[in-house]
Amino acid sequence: MRTQAEISSHLTQLGVIAVIRTPRPEQVLPLCAALVEGGLTALEITFTVPNACNVVAAVVREFGGHATVGVGTVLTALQLKSALDAGAEFFVTPILRPELVPLAHAAGRPIMLGSYTPTEAQLAHEAGADFVKLFPADNHGPKGVRAFCAPLPHLRIVPTGGVTLANAGEFIKAGCAAVGVGSTLLTTEILAKNDWSALQRLAADYIATVQAARAS
């Protein structure tokens, strides 16, 4: 079993977390296969997916040796415990839920708490969050992240909501630890057509964009 530090390191080294939302749970295994083939091996399956914990367990069985599988949209302790039982390796909540931190850490798992303002971001950090999810990030943009990081450089920010192929690199250059990508990766068209080859290419493009931003 990977340690909390090893899981966190994988998320930051890769730099892109796929946020998986679909009303059709049968799509999750094939889309995860496409993401992994494209090199995107940080998979966040949200609780908005029907039967999310069963889906997580299936993804862990299929891809656990090649990918880091976590759960998003965690709002309660019960959800976190259920996801942990399903094999989730990291947890993400879009809101500030400090009481979830000790539950995740007791299991040796990293957790990302949601924030929107500098005060919330700092409170998430003080609560022990491994990462701070800036959500929705499109209202801040890379320029807003730079403003966050100037007085608060210790924050490990992961913007989600509004991250695109065009600005993912700019978020990284602004100081983000990684980016979370949902609807601009798992697009409506890709999901409607089950176009997994297009998803694989797009996943590879996101990884290449983040790597190029770091190299520069």
Catalytic residue annotation = 44, 133
**Helix and strand numbers, DSSP H then E, in the chain:** 10, 8
Interhelix angle 52-63/77-86, nearest 10 degrees: 30
Beta strands 179-181 and 157-159 are: unpaired
Count how many Cα atoms sit within 13 Å of the Cα of residue 73 in the half-sphere of its side chain.
Answer: 13
Q: What phi and psi, each to the nearest 5 degrees, are found at residue 130? A: -70, -30
